[in-house]
Amino acid sequence: MSSIASRRAVITGMGVVSALGSSVDRFWSHLCQGVSGVHRIDTFEVKDAACQVAATVSDLDLSTHFNRRERKSYDRFTLLGLAAAEQAWDNAYLGQAPFPERMAVLMGTGIGGISSYTEPYHALYGASPQPLNAYTIPRIMNSSLSAAVAIRFGLHGPNLTLNTACSSGANALGQALQWIRSGKVERVLCGGSEAPVTHALLRTWESLGVLVRDRNETPETACRPFDQERSGFVLAEGAAVLVLESLESARRRGAPVHAELVGYGANCDAKSLTHPDRESIAEAMRLALEDGGLFPDDIDAINAHGTGTRINDPTEAQAIREVCGPRSANLPVTANKSMLGHSMGASSALEAVASVLMVREQQVPPTRNCTQLDPECPIDPVADGVRPQRLRAVLSNSFGFGGSNAVLAFTPGGT
Amino acid sequence: MIRDELEVLLREVLAHEMDLSPEEVRLEMSLREELDLNSLDATNVLMTLEDRLKVEADLEDFLELQTVGDLLDYMIRLVGTEA
Protein backbone atom coordinates (compact mmCIF):
# COMPACT_ATOMS: atom_id res chain seq x y z
CA MET A 1 0.00 0.00 0.00
CA SER A 2 1.16 3.51 -0.79
CA SER A 3 1.79 5.78 2.17
CA ILE A 4 0.81 8.85 0.16
CA ALA A 5 -2.69 8.59 -1.26
CA SER A 6 -3.23 10.37 -4.56
CA ARG A 7 -6.89 10.95 -3.85
CA ARG A 8 -8.43 11.41 -0.41
CA ALA A 9 -11.67 9.74 0.62
CA VAL A 10 -14.20 11.10 3.09
CA ILE A 11 -17.39 9.83 4.65
CA THR A 12 -20.36 11.89 3.50
CA GLY A 13 -23.21 9.65 4.56
CA MET A 14 -24.00 6.98 7.14
CA GLY A 15 -26.87 4.65 7.93
CA VAL A 16 -27.31 2.21 10.79
CA VAL A 17 -29.74 -0.55 11.69
CA SER A 18 -28.80 -2.11 15.01
CA ALA A 19 -29.87 -3.39 18.38
CA LEU A 20 -29.04 0.08 19.70
CA GLY A 21 -31.33 1.79 17.23
CA SER A 22 -32.08 2.14 13.56
CA SER A 23 -30.83 5.65 13.04
CA VAL A 24 -27.34 7.09 13.39
CA ASP A 25 -28.49 9.51 16.11
CA ARG A 26 -30.12 6.81 18.25
CA PHE A 27 -27.17 4.46 17.74
CA TRP A 28 -24.67 7.10 18.85
CA SER A 29 -26.75 8.34 21.74
CA HIS A 30 -27.18 4.82 23.11
CA LEU A 31 -23.50 3.98 22.59
CA CYS A 32 -22.47 7.06 24.56
CA GLN A 33 -24.98 6.34 27.32
CA GLY A 34 -23.73 2.78 27.67
CA VAL A 35 -27.13 1.28 26.86
CA SER A 36 -27.18 -2.45 26.21
CA GLY A 37 -28.94 -3.85 23.14
CA VAL A 38 -28.72 -7.41 24.47
CA HIS A 39 -31.92 -9.17 25.57
CA ARG A 40 -33.37 -12.63 26.06
CA ILE A 41 -34.29 -14.28 22.77
CA ASP A 42 -38.06 -14.40 22.29
CA THR A 43 -38.41 -15.04 18.57
CA PHE A 44 -37.71 -18.78 18.76
CA GLU A 45 -37.58 -21.47 21.43
CA VAL A 46 -34.24 -21.53 23.25
CA LYS A 47 -34.86 -24.03 26.04
CA ASP A 48 -32.24 -26.35 24.57
CA ALA A 49 -29.61 -23.61 24.30
CA ALA A 50 -27.04 -22.70 26.92
CA CYS A 51 -26.92 -19.17 25.53
CA GLN A 52 -30.38 -17.60 25.50
CA VAL A 53 -29.51 -13.97 24.78
CA ALA A 54 -28.89 -11.98 21.61
CA ALA A 55 -28.89 -8.42 20.28
CA THR A 56 -31.53 -7.87 17.61
CA VAL A 57 -33.17 -4.94 15.87
CA SER A 58 -36.36 -3.86 17.63
CA ASP A 59 -37.24 -0.43 16.25
CA LEU A 60 -37.55 -1.15 12.52
CA ASP A 61 -40.68 -2.93 11.28
CA LEU A 62 -39.60 -4.60 8.06
CA SER A 63 -43.21 -5.50 7.23
CA THR A 64 -44.16 -1.83 6.90
CA HIS A 65 -40.82 -0.37 5.80
CA PHE A 66 -40.56 -2.59 2.72
CA ASN A 67 -43.18 -3.48 0.13
CA ARG A 68 -44.45 -6.97 -0.52
CA ARG A 69 -42.14 -7.51 -3.49
CA GLU A 70 -39.05 -6.53 -1.49
CA ARG A 71 -39.97 -8.68 1.51
CA LYS A 72 -40.51 -11.63 -0.76
CA SER A 73 -37.34 -11.16 -2.80
CA TYR A 74 -34.86 -10.40 -0.05
CA ASP A 75 -33.62 -12.22 3.04
CA ARG A 76 -33.59 -10.36 6.34
CA PHE A 77 -29.88 -9.51 6.00
CA THR A 78 -30.59 -7.78 2.69
CA LEU A 79 -33.53 -5.83 4.11
CA LEU A 80 -31.48 -4.64 7.10
CA GLY A 81 -28.66 -3.57 4.79
CA LEU A 82 -31.00 -1.87 2.34
CA ALA A 83 -32.61 0.11 5.18
CA ALA A 84 -29.13 1.26 6.29
CA ALA A 85 -28.25 2.17 2.69
CA GLU A 86 -31.38 4.32 2.39
CA GLN A 87 -30.35 6.28 5.48
CA ALA A 88 -26.80 6.71 4.18
CA TRP A 89 -28.09 7.91 0.80
CA ASP A 90 -30.32 10.53 2.42
CA ASN A 91 -27.64 11.52 4.92
CA ALA A 92 -25.23 12.21 2.04
CA TYR A 93 -27.87 14.31 0.21
CA LEU A 94 -27.35 12.26 -2.92
CA GLY A 95 -30.89 12.74 -4.25
CA GLN A 96 -30.94 11.80 -7.91
CA ALA A 97 -27.28 10.85 -8.13
CA PRO A 98 -25.42 12.28 -11.11
CA PHE A 99 -23.06 9.96 -12.99
CA PRO A 100 -24.45 6.67 -11.58
CA GLU A 101 -21.82 4.77 -13.57
CA ARG A 102 -19.20 6.35 -11.26
CA MET A 103 -20.93 5.08 -8.13
CA ALA A 104 -19.95 1.67 -6.83
CA VAL A 105 -21.31 -0.71 -4.23
CA LEU A 106 -19.14 -2.89 -2.02
CA MET A 107 -20.83 -4.78 0.79
CA GLY A 108 -19.55 -7.27 3.32
CA THR A 109 -21.35 -10.18 4.88
CA GLY A 110 -20.21 -13.30 6.68
CA ILE A 111 -23.07 -15.67 6.01
CA GLY A 112 -25.53 -13.79 3.80
CA GLY A 113 -29.07 -15.11 3.59
CA ILE A 114 -28.66 -17.75 6.26
CA SER A 115 -32.26 -17.59 7.49
CA SER A 116 -33.47 -18.55 4.00
CA TYR A 117 -31.16 -21.58 3.91
CA THR A 118 -33.43 -23.64 6.12
CA GLU A 119 -36.52 -23.27 3.91
CA PRO A 120 -35.65 -25.90 1.28
CA TYR A 121 -34.66 -28.36 4.00
CA HIS A 122 -38.07 -28.03 5.63
CA ALA A 123 -39.75 -28.31 2.21
CA LEU A 124 -37.79 -31.40 1.21
CA TYR A 125 -37.35 -33.26 4.47
CA GLY A 126 -40.22 -32.01 6.67
CA ALA A 127 -43.09 -34.22 7.80
CA SER A 128 -45.02 -33.47 4.60
CA PRO A 129 -42.88 -32.46 1.60
CA GLN A 130 -43.77 -29.07 0.11
CA PRO A 131 -42.98 -27.40 -3.23
CA LEU A 132 -39.68 -25.52 -3.21
CA ASN A 133 -39.61 -21.72 -3.39
CA ALA A 134 -38.22 -20.13 -6.56
CA TYR A 135 -37.06 -17.15 -4.48
CA THR A 136 -34.75 -19.17 -2.26
CA ILE A 137 -31.58 -18.79 -4.36
CA PRO A 138 -31.82 -15.00 -4.78
CA ARG A 139 -32.62 -14.70 -1.06
CA ILE A 140 -29.66 -16.84 0.00
CA MET A 141 -26.97 -15.40 -2.24
CA ASN A 142 -24.42 -13.23 -0.46
CA SER A 143 -24.46 -10.69 -3.28
CA SER A 144 -28.15 -9.90 -2.92
CA LEU A 145 -27.53 -6.82 -0.74
CA SER A 146 -25.05 -5.29 -3.18
CA ALA A 147 -27.52 -5.98 -5.98
CA ALA A 148 -30.48 -4.62 -4.02
CA VAL A 149 -28.64 -1.37 -3.30
CA ALA A 150 -27.70 -0.93 -6.96
CA ILE A 151 -31.29 -1.63 -8.02
CA ARG A 152 -32.74 0.77 -5.46
CA PHE A 153 -30.55 3.70 -6.49
CA GLY A 154 -29.77 2.82 -10.13
CA LEU A 155 -26.01 2.50 -9.63
CA HIS A 156 -24.05 1.14 -12.59
CA GLY A 157 -20.53 1.20 -11.18
CA PRO A 158 -18.64 -1.88 -9.94
CA ASN A 159 -20.77 -4.02 -7.66
CA LEU A 160 -19.02 -6.48 -5.36
CA THR A 161 -19.66 -8.48 -2.23
CA LEU A 162 -16.83 -9.38 0.07
CA ASN A 163 -16.62 -12.05 2.75
CA THR A 164 -13.83 -12.22 5.28
CA ALA A 165 -16.08 -13.38 8.14
CA CYS A 166 -16.14 -10.86 10.98
CA SER A 167 -13.87 -8.34 9.28
CA SER A 168 -16.02 -8.21 6.11
CA GLY A 169 -17.42 -4.72 6.70
CA ALA A 170 -14.03 -3.18 7.46
CA ASN A 171 -12.47 -4.81 4.41
CA ALA A 172 -15.37 -3.48 2.30
CA LEU A 173 -14.52 0.05 3.46
CA GLY A 174 -10.80 -0.51 2.94
CA GLN A 175 -11.25 -1.81 -0.57
CA ALA A 176 -13.65 1.05 -1.31
CA LEU A 177 -10.88 3.41 -0.21
CA GLN A 178 -8.58 1.82 -2.81
CA TRP A 179 -11.24 2.28 -5.50
CA ILE A 180 -11.59 5.97 -4.66
CA ARG A 181 -7.82 6.43 -4.61
CA SER A 182 -7.49 4.73 -7.98
CA GLY A 183 -9.77 7.34 -9.51
CA LYS A 184 -12.07 4.75 -11.03
CA VAL A 185 -15.10 5.83 -9.03
CA GLU A 186 -16.18 8.95 -7.16
CA ARG A 187 -18.40 7.35 -4.52
CA VAL A 188 -18.88 3.93 -3.01
CA LEU A 189 -21.78 2.75 -0.89
CA CYS A 190 -19.96 0.35 1.38
CA GLY A 191 -20.56 -1.46 4.63
CA GLY A 192 -21.90 -4.73 5.91
CA SER A 193 -25.02 -6.55 6.98
CA GLU A 194 -25.84 -9.72 8.87
CA ALA A 195 -28.94 -11.44 10.26
CA PRO A 196 -27.55 -14.55 11.93
CA VAL A 197 -29.83 -14.86 14.95
CA THR A 198 -31.47 -18.17 14.15
CA HIS A 199 -31.85 -21.24 16.33
CA ALA A 200 -29.47 -23.31 14.23
CA LEU A 201 -26.79 -20.61 14.14
CA LEU A 202 -27.11 -19.93 17.86
CA ARG A 203 -26.57 -23.60 18.64
CA THR A 204 -23.75 -23.85 16.11
CA TRP A 205 -21.87 -20.88 17.54
CA GLU A 206 -22.50 -22.33 20.97
CA SER A 207 -20.81 -25.55 19.90
CA LEU A 208 -17.65 -23.56 19.19
CA GLY A 209 -17.62 -22.53 22.84
CA VAL A 210 -17.45 -18.81 22.14
CA LEU A 211 -20.92 -17.60 23.22
CA VAL A 212 -21.73 -16.28 26.69
CA ARG A 213 -23.47 -19.02 28.68
CA ASP A 214 -23.68 -17.69 32.21
CA ARG A 215 -25.68 -14.48 31.91
CA ASN A 216 -29.13 -15.51 30.67
CA GLU A 217 -30.89 -13.82 33.58
CA THR A 218 -29.01 -10.53 33.16
CA PRO A 219 -28.58 -10.12 29.39
CA GLU A 220 -27.36 -6.53 29.67
CA THR A 221 -24.30 -7.78 31.58
CA ALA A 222 -23.56 -10.63 29.18
CA CYS A 223 -20.86 -9.16 26.94
CA ARG A 224 -17.86 -7.99 28.98
CA PRO A 225 -14.87 -7.14 26.77
CA PHE A 226 -11.56 -6.88 28.64
CA ASP A 227 -13.28 -7.74 31.95
CA GLN A 228 -11.84 -10.48 34.14
CA GLU A 229 -15.18 -12.32 34.18
CA ARG A 230 -15.88 -12.22 30.45
CA SER A 231 -17.05 -15.53 29.05
CA GLY A 232 -17.79 -14.98 25.38
CA PHE A 233 -19.64 -12.90 22.83
CA VAL A 234 -23.33 -12.30 22.17
CA LEU A 235 -24.78 -13.09 18.74
CA ALA A 236 -26.27 -10.02 17.07
CA GLU A 237 -27.79 -8.72 13.86
CA GLY A 238 -27.46 -5.35 12.19
CA ALA A 239 -26.21 -3.36 9.26
CA ALA A 240 -24.24 -0.22 8.55
CA VAL A 241 -23.65 1.50 5.24
CA LEU A 242 -21.39 4.47 4.59
CA VAL A 243 -21.01 6.73 1.59
CA LEU A 244 -17.28 6.97 0.91
CA GLU A 245 -16.56 9.76 -1.53
CA SER A 246 -13.56 11.46 -3.05
CA LEU A 247 -12.80 14.69 -1.24
CA GLU A 248 -12.96 16.55 -4.56
CA SER A 249 -16.46 15.25 -5.25
CA ALA A 250 -17.65 16.06 -1.73
CA ARG A 251 -16.29 19.61 -1.99
CA ARG A 252 -17.69 20.09 -5.47
CA ARG A 253 -21.22 19.32 -4.39
CA GLY A 254 -20.96 20.84 -0.90
CA ALA A 255 -21.62 17.52 0.81
CA PRO A 256 -21.31 17.18 4.59
CA VAL A 257 -18.00 15.58 5.58
CA HIS A 258 -18.23 13.49 8.75
CA ALA A 259 -14.65 12.21 8.78
CA GLU A 260 -11.81 11.09 6.53
CA LEU A 261 -10.77 7.49 6.02
CA VAL A 262 -7.00 7.94 5.82
CA GLY A 263 -5.61 4.46 6.31
CA TYR A 264 -6.33 0.79 5.76
CA GLY A 265 -4.25 -2.14 6.87
CA ALA A 266 -5.17 -5.69 5.93
CA ASN A 267 -3.37 -8.98 6.29
CA CYS A 268 -3.83 -12.63 7.13
CA ASP A 269 -2.17 -14.53 9.96
CA ALA A 270 -1.99 -17.64 7.77
CA LYS A 271 -1.92 -19.74 10.91
CA SER A 272 -5.39 -20.57 12.16
CA LEU A 273 -9.02 -20.60 11.05
CA THR A 274 -10.27 -19.49 14.45
CA HIS A 275 -7.45 -18.38 16.75
CA PRO A 276 -6.41 -14.68 16.66
CA ASP A 277 -2.71 -13.94 16.34
CA ARG A 278 -1.09 -11.04 18.20
CA GLU A 279 1.76 -10.45 15.77
CA SER A 280 -0.53 -10.32 12.73
CA ILE A 281 -2.97 -8.01 14.48
CA ALA A 282 -0.14 -5.66 15.44
CA GLU A 283 1.15 -5.75 11.88
CA ALA A 284 -2.32 -4.90 10.47
CA MET A 285 -2.44 -1.91 12.83
CA ARG A 286 1.00 -0.78 11.67
CA LEU A 287 -0.06 -1.18 8.03
CA ALA A 288 -3.08 1.08 8.63
CA LEU A 289 -0.88 3.69 10.30
CA GLU A 290 1.65 3.57 7.47
CA ASP A 291 -1.08 3.77 4.84
CA GLY A 292 -2.50 6.83 6.55
CA GLY A 293 0.85 8.52 7.07
CA LEU A 294 0.35 8.29 10.83
CA PHE A 295 2.58 7.43 13.77
CA PRO A 296 1.41 5.44 16.81
CA ASP A 297 1.50 8.63 18.86
CA ASP A 298 -1.07 10.20 16.52
CA ILE A 299 -3.69 7.68 17.63
CA ASP A 300 -5.82 9.07 20.43
CA ALA A 301 -8.30 6.17 20.74
CA ILE A 302 -8.97 2.70 19.41
CA ASN A 303 -12.30 1.13 18.59
CA ALA A 304 -11.43 -2.46 19.45
CA HIS A 305 -12.62 -5.68 17.89
CA GLY A 306 -13.28 -6.47 21.58
CA THR A 307 -15.55 -9.48 21.37
CA GLY A 308 -15.50 -10.48 25.05
CA THR A 309 -14.10 -13.96 24.40
CA ARG A 310 -11.37 -15.32 26.64
CA ILE A 311 -8.89 -15.44 23.74
CA ASN A 312 -9.59 -12.33 21.66
CA ASP A 313 -9.32 -9.61 24.27
CA PRO A 314 -5.85 -10.24 25.74
CA THR A 315 -4.50 -11.01 22.26
CA GLU A 316 -5.81 -7.70 20.97
CA ALA A 317 -4.77 -5.74 24.06
CA GLN A 318 -1.23 -7.08 23.80
CA ALA A 319 -1.12 -6.21 20.10
CA ILE A 320 -2.17 -2.66 20.99
CA ARG A 321 0.57 -2.61 23.60
CA GLU A 322 3.08 -3.79 21.01
CA VAL A 323 2.12 -1.03 18.56
CA CYS A 324 1.52 1.86 20.94
CA GLY A 325 4.05 1.01 23.65
CA PRO A 326 3.69 2.08 27.32
CA ARG A 327 1.25 4.80 26.20
CA SER A 328 -1.34 2.06 25.64
CA ALA A 329 -1.99 1.84 29.40
CA ASN A 330 -3.73 5.23 29.14
CA LEU A 331 -4.97 4.95 25.56
CA PRO A 332 -8.80 4.87 25.45
CA VAL A 333 -9.96 1.58 23.92
CA THR A 334 -13.71 1.19 23.47
CA ALA A 335 -15.48 -2.07 22.64
CA ASN A 336 -18.85 -1.40 20.98
CA LYS A 337 -19.73 -5.11 21.07
CA SER A 338 -20.29 -4.78 24.83
CA MET A 339 -23.57 -3.09 23.85
CA LEU A 340 -24.17 -4.10 20.22
CA GLY A 341 -23.26 -7.76 20.44
CA HIS A 342 -21.34 -9.34 17.60
CA SER A 343 -23.05 -9.11 14.23
CA MET A 344 -20.34 -10.95 12.29
CA GLY A 345 -19.80 -9.29 8.89
CA ALA A 346 -21.78 -6.22 9.93
CA SER A 347 -19.96 -5.54 13.19
CA SER A 348 -16.91 -3.87 11.68
CA ALA A 349 -19.12 -1.62 9.53
CA LEU A 350 -21.11 -0.60 12.62
CA GLU A 351 -17.84 0.05 14.44
CA ALA A 352 -16.62 2.11 11.48
CA VAL A 353 -19.68 4.34 11.86
CA ALA A 354 -18.96 4.60 15.60
CA SER A 355 -15.34 5.50 14.82
CA VAL A 356 -16.41 8.20 12.36
CA LEU A 357 -18.68 9.63 15.06
CA MET A 358 -15.86 9.47 17.60
CA VAL A 359 -13.61 11.74 15.53
CA ARG A 360 -16.51 13.96 14.49
CA GLU A 361 -17.89 14.42 18.01
CA GLN A 362 -14.52 14.16 19.82
CA GLN A 363 -15.94 11.62 22.27
CA VAL A 364 -15.12 8.04 23.17
CA PRO A 365 -18.10 5.83 24.08
CA PRO A 366 -17.63 3.55 27.06
CA THR A 367 -17.01 -0.17 27.14
CA ARG A 368 -19.97 -1.54 29.06
CA ASN A 369 -19.56 -4.20 31.76
CA CYS A 370 -15.81 -3.87 32.14
CA THR A 371 -15.97 -3.53 35.89
CA GLN A 372 -12.74 -5.36 36.68
CA LEU A 373 -10.08 -5.00 34.02
CA ASP A 374 -8.26 -8.23 33.21
CA PRO A 375 -4.56 -7.67 34.07
CA GLU A 376 -3.78 -9.49 30.81
CA CYS A 377 -5.41 -6.54 28.98
CA PRO A 378 -3.14 -3.54 29.65
CA ILE A 379 -5.36 -0.86 28.09
CA ASP A 380 -7.81 1.82 29.26
CA PRO A 381 -11.28 0.40 28.45
CA VAL A 382 -13.17 3.67 29.09
CA ALA A 383 -15.19 1.85 31.72
CA ASP A 384 -16.45 4.93 33.52
CA GLY A 385 -18.72 6.44 30.86
CA VAL A 386 -18.43 8.46 27.69
CA ARG A 387 -15.25 10.48 27.57
CA PRO A 388 -14.95 13.80 25.71
CA GLN A 389 -11.39 14.31 24.55
CA ARG A 390 -9.24 15.48 21.69
CA LEU A 391 -9.13 12.80 18.99
CA ARG A 392 -6.72 13.47 16.15
CA ALA A 393 -7.02 9.94 14.79
CA VAL A 394 -8.88 6.75 15.71
CA LEU A 395 -8.10 3.18 14.71
CA SER A 396 -10.89 0.65 14.25
CA ASN A 397 -9.73 -2.95 14.65
CA SER A 398 -11.55 -5.93 13.13
CA PHE A 399 -10.50 -9.56 12.90
CA GLY A 400 -12.20 -12.38 11.07
CA PHE A 401 -12.11 -16.15 11.29
CA GLY A 402 -9.64 -17.32 8.70
CA GLY A 403 -7.10 -14.90 10.12
CA SER A 404 -8.25 -11.92 8.07
CA ASN A 405 -7.40 -8.74 9.97
CA ALA A 406 -8.58 -5.30 8.82
CA VAL A 407 -7.76 -2.01 10.50
CA LEU A 408 -9.15 1.37 9.48
CA ALA A 409 -7.77 4.80 10.45
CA PHE A 410 -10.11 7.79 10.64
CA THR A 411 -9.37 11.48 11.19
CA PRO A 412 -11.66 14.50 11.50
CA GLY A 413 -12.78 15.19 8.02
CA GLY A 414 -11.66 16.85 4.94
CA THR A 415 -9.74 19.90 6.09
CA MET B 1 -62.55 -31.52 -10.16
CA ILE B 2 -65.13 -29.11 -11.45
CA ARG B 3 -64.43 -25.58 -12.68
CA ASP B 4 -65.72 -23.92 -9.50
CA GLU B 5 -63.42 -25.98 -7.30
CA LEU B 6 -60.48 -25.24 -9.57
CA GLU B 7 -61.27 -21.54 -9.45
CA VAL B 8 -61.33 -21.60 -5.65
CA LEU B 9 -57.99 -23.40 -5.59
CA LEU B 10 -56.48 -21.01 -8.13
CA ARG B 11 -57.60 -17.93 -6.19
CA GLU B 12 -56.18 -19.45 -3.02
CA VAL B 13 -52.80 -20.25 -4.58
CA LEU B 14 -52.45 -16.88 -6.33
CA ALA B 15 -53.55 -15.01 -3.22
CA HIS B 16 -51.04 -16.86 -1.08
CA GLU B 17 -48.21 -16.20 -3.51
CA MET B 18 -49.02 -12.52 -3.94
CA ASP B 19 -49.96 -11.84 -0.31
CA LEU B 20 -53.58 -10.99 -1.12
CA SER B 21 -56.94 -12.28 0.05
CA PRO B 22 -58.64 -14.77 -2.33
CA GLU B 23 -61.49 -12.27 -2.79
CA GLU B 24 -59.04 -9.79 -4.30
CA VAL B 25 -58.16 -12.19 -7.12
CA ARG B 26 -60.57 -11.78 -10.03
CA LEU B 27 -60.73 -13.80 -13.24
CA GLU B 28 -60.41 -10.72 -15.48
CA MET B 29 -57.22 -9.52 -13.77
CA SER B 30 -54.08 -9.51 -15.87
CA LEU B 31 -51.40 -11.73 -14.38
CA ARG B 32 -48.50 -9.33 -14.89
CA GLU B 33 -49.88 -5.78 -14.78
CA GLU B 34 -52.56 -6.17 -12.14
CA LEU B 35 -51.41 -9.18 -10.11
CA ASP B 36 -47.73 -8.22 -10.58
CA LEU B 37 -46.63 -11.81 -11.16
CA ASN B 38 -43.02 -12.12 -12.31
CA SER B 39 -41.31 -15.27 -13.54
CA LEU B 40 -40.32 -16.39 -10.02
CA ASP B 41 -43.89 -15.91 -8.74
CA ALA B 42 -45.14 -17.84 -11.76
CA THR B 43 -42.74 -20.66 -11.02
CA ASN B 44 -43.97 -20.86 -7.43
CA VAL B 45 -47.62 -20.81 -8.52
CA LEU B 46 -47.03 -23.56 -11.07
CA MET B 47 -45.09 -25.74 -8.61
CA THR B 48 -47.89 -25.44 -6.06
CA LEU B 49 -50.62 -26.19 -8.61
CA GLU B 50 -48.64 -29.17 -9.91
CA ASP B 51 -48.29 -30.45 -6.37
CA ARG B 52 -51.95 -29.99 -5.50
CA LEU B 53 -53.41 -31.24 -8.80
CA LYS B 54 -50.82 -33.91 -9.62
CA VAL B 55 -50.29 -32.51 -13.12
CA GLU B 56 -47.27 -31.24 -15.05
CA ALA B 57 -47.43 -27.67 -16.29
CA ASP B 58 -45.11 -25.81 -18.63
CA LEU B 59 -43.67 -22.46 -17.53
CA GLU B 60 -43.37 -21.27 -21.14
CA ASP B 61 -47.07 -21.97 -21.72
CA PHE B 62 -47.84 -20.18 -18.48
CA LEU B 63 -45.89 -17.08 -19.47
CA GLU B 64 -48.06 -16.69 -22.57
CA LEU B 65 -51.26 -16.52 -20.53
CA GLN B 66 -52.69 -13.05 -19.99
CA THR B 67 -55.33 -13.23 -17.29
CA VAL B 68 -56.34 -15.25 -14.24
CA GLY B 69 -59.20 -16.62 -16.35
CA ASP B 70 -56.69 -17.78 -18.99
CA LEU B 71 -54.79 -19.59 -16.24
CA LEU B 72 -57.98 -21.23 -15.02
CA ASP B 73 -58.73 -22.46 -18.56
CA TYR B 74 -55.16 -23.73 -18.88
CA MET B 75 -55.41 -25.68 -15.63
CA ILE B 76 -58.76 -27.13 -16.70
CA ARG B 77 -57.13 -28.37 -19.90
CA LEU B 78 -54.30 -29.90 -17.88
CA VAL B 79 -56.49 -31.82 -15.50
CA GLY B 80 -58.68 -32.89 -18.41
CA THR B 81 -61.88 -31.77 -16.80
CA GLU B 82 -64.70 -29.88 -18.44
CA ALA B 83 -66.49 -27.31 -16.43
A414, pLDDT greater than 70: no
The DSSP code for A300 is: -
Reply yes or no on whether the pLDDT at B82 is more than 80. Answer: no
Determine contact, residues A33/A40, Cβ cutoff 8 Å: no
At residue A415 the predicted structure's pLDDT band, cuts being 50, 70 and 90, is low
Does residue A16 surpass a pLDDT of 70? yes
Say if residue B83's pLDDT is above 60.
no
Residues 6+ apart with CB under 8 A from A290: A1, A3, A263, A265
Residue A268 pLDDT grade (very low, low, confident, very high; cuts 50, 70, 90): very high
Other Cβ atoms less than 10 A from the Cβ of A414: the count is 19
Q: Model pTM? A: 0.94
Q: Which pLDDT band holds residue A128 (cuts at 50, 70, 90)? A: confident
Q: Does the beta carbon of A137 lie under 8 angstroms from any beta carbon of chain B?
A: no
Cα distances (angstroms) measured from residue A28 to each of A21, B7, B73: 9, 54, 59
Q: What is the pLDDT of residues A72-118, one digit of tens each?
A: 999 999 999 999 999 999 999 998 766 777 899 999 999 999 999 98
Q: Is the pLDDT of residue A5 over 50?
A: no
Instruction: Using CA atoms of A396, A284, A88, A107 in order, give the dihedral in degrees to the nearest 10.
Output: -140
Do residues A379 and A321 touch, judged by C-beta distance below 8 A?
yes
Given a cut of 50, whether residue A4 has pLDDT beyond it is no
Q: Return residues 20-79 of A near B (CB < 8 Å).
A: 68-69, 72-73
Beta carbons within 8 Å of A43's beta carbon, 6+ residues apart: A56, A197
ipTM: 0.85
Alpha helices, DSSP H, located in A265-346: 278-291, 312-324, 337-340
A131 and B CB contact within 8 Å: yes
Q: State the Cα–Cα distance between residues A22 and A189, nearest whole angstrom.
A: 18
**Which residues from B are below 8 Å from A128, CB to CB?**
none
Q: How far apart are CA A194 and CA A58, in angstroms?
A: 15
Q: Is the pLDDT of residue A2 over 60?
A: no
| φ and ψ at residue A109, rounded to 5 degrees | -155, 150
CA distance B58 to A186: 47
User: Of A57, A373, A123, A160, nearest to B48 (Cα)?
Assistant: A123
pLDDT of A47 > 80? The answer is: yes
pLDDT for A413: 82
B 18-47 residues inside an 8 A Cβ radius of A: 18-19, 36, 40-41, 43-44, 47
Mean per-residue pLDDT over chain A, rounded: 95
d(CA A157, CA A220): 42
Buried b (16+ CB within 10 A) or exposed e, A145-173: bbbbbbeebebebbbbbbbbbbbbbbbbb
Neighbours of A278 (CB within 10 A): 17
**Exposed e or buried b for every residue in A56-84, given b needs 16+ CB within 10 A?**
bbeebebeeebeeebebbbbbbbbbbbbb
| Beta-strand relationship, A394-400 and A301-303 | parallel
**What's the rounded mean pLDDT across residues A354-377?**
98
Q: Which amino acid would we find at residue A119?
A: E
For the stretch A150-196, pLDDT in tens is 999 999 999 999 999 999 999 999 999 999 999 989 999 999 999 99
Q: What is the share, in percent, of chain A residues with pLDDT greater than 90?
A: 93
Identity of the residue in A68, A72, A134 whose CB atom sits nearest the CB atom of B43: A134
